[in-house]
Structure 1
Amino acid sequence: MSDTLSLSPPEMPADMVRTSASRRPRTLLYYSLWAVLALAAGIYVVAMTAKPAVLLDWFPALGRSLSQPQGNDARSANMPTPETIQLRKTLIATQTEVRRLRGLLAQRDADLRAKDLSMGEIKRELEAARKSAAGPRSTATDTAANDAPNGALVAADASAEPPARLAATAPGATPAAPRTFELVNATPKDTAPTQTAAAEPAPEIAIPPPARRPAEVAARIAAAQKSAGPIKQIVRATLPVTPGGEPRSSGIETGSVASPLALQAAKPKPADPVTDPIAFGPAVVTRSQAQVGVRLTAGPSIDALRLSWSLMTDRHGSALGALEPRYVTGSSPSAPYSLVAGPLQSENAAHNLCAELISKGIPCSVDAFTGNAL
């Protein structure tokens, strides 16, 4: 009974005791290794926090791996770099500048087209004015030619030179050259005499008769003539003159007034004035102070010259901005008006300005600064 109630710890086998004793050194080595790894990780964290540059110098591969984006961090991979941001800003600024330049070019093209249209309108108005000025003259000539029969002579430009006709009619003047005639709507015939156009008779003008004096005025004039009577003759007293002697004195003192011719003959002649010889000094040649300018272009009208001058000053304001525009006439029939700019200080300055303008494609020549204001 007692043997069954007593409890004693079970005894372990001998081989199990030996296995537990051999595991103790291995467990210590395992914990020591983990402690060393933990210490290295702590040192790494402290180094990356305090001085990462020193750690990157020791391990360059670590820096490359850190600079490359990781696949698990999509947000950091999509973030743009400063170089990309600067490149985008430069691209946006370039696109803005290109748009601005395109707008300026479009505006300039529109201005040039508007100016071309205005030039065309000015030319059309000039042509219309010329045709309207030449229209009545040609119409009158055609009408006279159509009204005249075959073989009639029509004077060419009959009213072109009225001063010459007046000078030819003056007494003692040299006869003018015969006028030229043009044969209009005529058929040449050798035997038939030339017929002259019959002039239309001038209309008769009724001239009113002169107004008569009223009866009262006539009666007054007749009464005045009757009351006046005959004109009495005035008799002047004369003295008898005896030959070879003096006239008799009648006791009346009379005076006489010498005639103007006698007074002029009795007046003594003045002596000739003494004139000293005139001495002339040495001849001095003085140059004319004519202003110097440059002749730029020519045009069919003054408005065309104004438009050309505005374009030149817009494009070449540094060279032409300080000059004054004028225009002169007498050029070719197609462009009778010429543009002159000035004044310049000397001919050398004018030549230099012309050389600069010719290099830019503008015609230029040195000329006198004359003409009317543009």
Structure 2
Amino acid sequence: MVVAPACPSCGSNRLYKDGLRYLSDGSSVQRWLCRKCGYRFTDPNYKAKTGWRNLPSGLNLPSGLYYSCQGNDDPDGRVPSATEAVQTLAEVSQEEKRAAGATKTCQVDVKGKIFDYIWHLKKLGRCDGTIKGYRQKLMQMLNEGVNLLDPEAVKEYLTQKNWCEGSKFYASIVYDGFARFLGLTWQKPDYKPSRKIPFIPTEQELDQLIACTGKNLSALLQLLKETALRVGEALSLKWTDIDLERNVIILNHPEKGSEPRIFKVTAALITKLNQLTKTSEYVFKNHLQQSVAQNFRIQRKRIAQKLGNPRLNNITFHTFRHWKATIEYAKTRDILHVMQFLGHKNIKNTLLYTQLIKFEKEDDFYCAAAKTSNEAKELIESGFEYICTTPENIMLFRKRK
């Protein structure tokens, strides 16, 4: 029978058995817990063996003693394994917190550099649309965990993204400006986006959208149809830019470095514009492009479902510009005229529209005849193009559908 020793702390003999402790020599020793003071100890009179009786298990190897703290020959000098484990977990937790804190600090620093770069673009005179696009793209990459201070990490990110060449090309341009602003050296990837042939609807489809939308949006679409303005240019028009008596609209603040332009518009468009409320210096009170575009998408979807024509969903604000440029070239066959009408500075951007009329059919036009000069005048004002005069002195006109 094992005789319980006295508690080394209080001298009490009222003890609990508290399991066995296994030593490095393969033996075990009884642990005791004092019922009076709660002190836990082993028999202080225990003598460790001088030799091995059995080989120790893998847990009691010297390499494992640091973590398990079992097998210590000196019962009084033993460090509790729970204490060591808690210390180890605490160290790991502190390391993780330091790493997380460093990552968070890095993201905050990069975000600050992004705002500095945006302000730099603002001081350079970049338009709000360009600045907004740059900020959104940089923040997208940052939020997806890309280290914007490491150009190689950005290259790897662009390689792994399932984007088209155009999107990757734009992202590389955005980061190239950001890297140059920070003084980083990198080699921009060689993405080569291909320009796609734009969708060209019929005039009837454009007129359906104009007729079925609300008053403000209808006036905007009619303006885009007649002038081929970019939607940002149209939304920035002020009432002082419109000559209501001569039916003239002047664009003095074009986008994308284009040339200023002047347009002769129809009386129908002037009537639509006059019906708008004049509560602001801008023609269109809500001149925020994002909200106007969202409103257009909602109404376009409704009209396409109502008319059963899914092609209408392919029409965007810029489609009106493509359509007008194609019609102007079809009428005049003068590429320089179209270039000036659109405000292009490079004729390469205008040559695209010469490809869009190579597949014309006879049924792509409305045909009309005029016997008198007044009838011919009305047809020309309606957009018809003179073709020829028959032997019966009847003038023939046509107009693209």
Larger Rg: 1
So what's the TM-score if we normalise by structure 2? 0.23
